[in-house]
Amino acid sequence: MLLAVECLKMGLLDPPTIQQGIDLQQKLAGEGKPMPLLEVFVRTKKLSLEVAKGLMKQQKLEKLPAEGNPAFIPGYRITRRLGKGGMAIVFEAEQEATGEIVALKILQPIHNGKPVEVERFRREAQLLREFRHENIVRGLDLGETKGLHWFAMECVRGESVQAALDRDGPLDEDRALYVIVHVAKALDYCQGKGILHRDIKPENIMVTGEGRIVLCDLGFAKPIGSTEGDAAGQTCGTVQYISPEQARGARDVDIRSDIYSLGATLWHLVVGQVPFAGGESMEVMAKHVLEELENPRAKNANVSSHLHYFIMKMMAKEREIRYQSPKELVDDISSQILGKKSMVYTPGGGPTTADELFDAPPPDAAMAPRADPVRRVPSSDRIPRRRR
């Protein structure tokens, strides 16, 4: 039954086909010809042999480390599973040569026969090894073992911002902007390297116990301006945070698309729900393209006028109206909220200017609330509107 569930979740087989396979398996068993369900699907040509082999590897991977770990990935001892996404499974592992605890990301074998997915996985591994920024997860090693594509990266000790939202509800303004500024700094670094992230969302942002904000999952990242590997009209990213141009399947997306997704993330952080919701992905994407964004202050009265301005400017339908770069966003938040010389109360001393504040973790704990700083409302409280 686990196999049937996996095939259904991955969209390999529909429920009627799965039920037909189970019925045939039971019939064969009654005739004294027992046959594994996977073989039934292969013999009836519902699954190719290549896909079946991928599923067999997948089943072995799913059992780690419960059934021991006899050099599954040479040089690494898998200790526990950290999580599973649509493309890969992530394990905690010990690097045997150094004793360092790392996160080991393994592409689900079912995707081995998809060149585009394999290339994305390899590109993510290579980018993380090349990048060196405090707000981007650090890549360590990569390889292929017995048909498994994998890479090792630093094991970030903390939780995703999505987990914090699920547990505590909306973040206060200072905490939310602390997260956004650090992610914007990571995006500024990516832009300097000519890379677009394309999947900014709370689930891909980690916060450590010391307050370090870490951007993860570059699986959809690609060179800015490149159309390689993307079919015309294809969309990438998570629909709740996707930019209008991504939703339309445009092939000329740039850093302003990531800024839109960061704005949708900021909305979620302070409102507690996504800006556009719906039952179907196409419905949500259509809203990003066509529907006017609701005033976040209607959802949360604590949203200040300047935070309202930041969100609406980041999420403008037309990218010419948005912030044109992550640096412009960081500079605006710094100047409008704190001012370059504004003093901020910090228990026990610590950062006292906007620059220092955003370059250091909160004084007490990850995303810890601070005393209200001196704030300046934007000189123009006019919200950017879509040109007609």
Give the residue numbers annotated as catalytic, written as ranges. Answer: 199
Q: In 213-250, which positions are buried (b, 16+ CB within 10 angstroms) versus exposed (e)?
A: bbbbbbbbbbebeeeeebeeeebbbbbbbbbbbbbbee
- DSSP letter string over 274-334? -SS--SSHHHHHHHHHHSPPPPGGGT-TT--HHHHHHHHHHT-SSTTTS-SSHHHHHHHHI
Token duo for residue 150 = 């994998």
Residue 355: CB atoms within 10 Å: 13
Q: At what angle do helices 255-271 and 173-192 cross, to 10 degrees?
A: 170
Q: How far from chain centre, in Å, is Cα 311?
A: 20
Task: Reduce the DSSP state of residue 288 to 3 states and report it.
Answer: helix
Look up residue 166 and give its amino acid: D
Name the strand (E) or helix (H) holding 24: helix 15-30
Strand partners, 93: 78, 102
66 backbone dihedrals φ, ψ, rounded to 5°: -60, -35
- 337, 177 contact by CB (below 8 A): yes
Report how far apart, in Å, the C-alpha atoms of 107 and of each of 6, 8, 203, 262, 315 are.
Answer: 15, 19, 19, 26, 33
Amino acid present at 158: G
The structure tokens listed for 28 are: 């064969």
Burial of 32 (0-12, 13-18, 19+ CB in 10 A): exposed
* Cα–Cα distance for residue pair 152/382, rounded to 1 Å: 47
Distance CA 223, CA 8 (A): 33
Partnered with residue 78 across adjacent β-strands are 93
